């Protein structure tokens, strides 16, 4: 059975300490494994998909994700000049409530950023398997 859901952030973690650590944003934009996919959805102030496809600082976003993996999740990391300023993680599936990722944090008080979303599966032993990645820019 193939699961397709809109997902967002259940727990958005923006650690000030993590903002001081450089982050390499590796990965291939739109890369995928096993037929999984991930695409960006920018939301308007009512929480509905926006006509704008270019996210800006402070916007709410979610993702359309499709996978057959049994325990998927999405992690969203954003950086400015190589410094992590935002990290959000959301479990994916019917048991997780929907909340959007809000593109701001204590460490990210404005300005443009480079973001990478990673769809991954949480394996029974606690390890993870990357299923798809999506890189995008956020305007100031």
**How confident is the model over 44-84, as pLDDT tens digits?**
877 888 887 789 999 999 998 889 998 899 999 999 999 99
13-49 burial code (b ≥16 CB/10 A, e <16) = ebeeebbeeebeeebeeebbeeebbbebbbbeeeeee
Identify the CATH number of the domain in which residue 58 sits.
2.70.50
Task: Output the pTM of the full model.
Answer: 0.74
Per-residue model confidence (pLDDT) at position 34: 62
How many domains in the chain?
1
Q: Which tens digits make up the pLDDT trace of 7-35?
A: 433 323 332 222 222 232 233 344 445 68
Structural domain range at position 63: 3-138
For 36, phi then psi, to 5°, come to: -80, 150
Tokens matching residue 47: 């929480």
| Residues 113, 67 contacting (CB under 8 angstroms) | no
């Amino acid at each position: 059975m193939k699961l397709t859901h809109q997902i967002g952030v259940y727990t958005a973690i923006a650690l000030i300490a993590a903002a001081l650590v450089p982050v390499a944003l590796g990965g291939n934009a739109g890369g995928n494994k096993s037929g999984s996919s991930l695409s960006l959805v920018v939301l308007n102030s009512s929480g509905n998909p926006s006509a704008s496809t270019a996210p800006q600082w402070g916007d709410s976003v979610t993702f359309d994700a499709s996978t057959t993996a049994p325990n998927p999740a999405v992690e969203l990391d954003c950086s400015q000049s190589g410094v992590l300023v935002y990290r959000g993680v959301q479990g994916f599936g019917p048991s997780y409530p929907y909340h959007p990722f809000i593109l701001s944090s204590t460490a990210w008080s404005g300005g443009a950023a480079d973001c990478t979303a990673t769809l991954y599966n949480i394996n029974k032993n606690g390890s993870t398997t990357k299923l798809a990645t999506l890189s995008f820019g956020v305007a100031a």
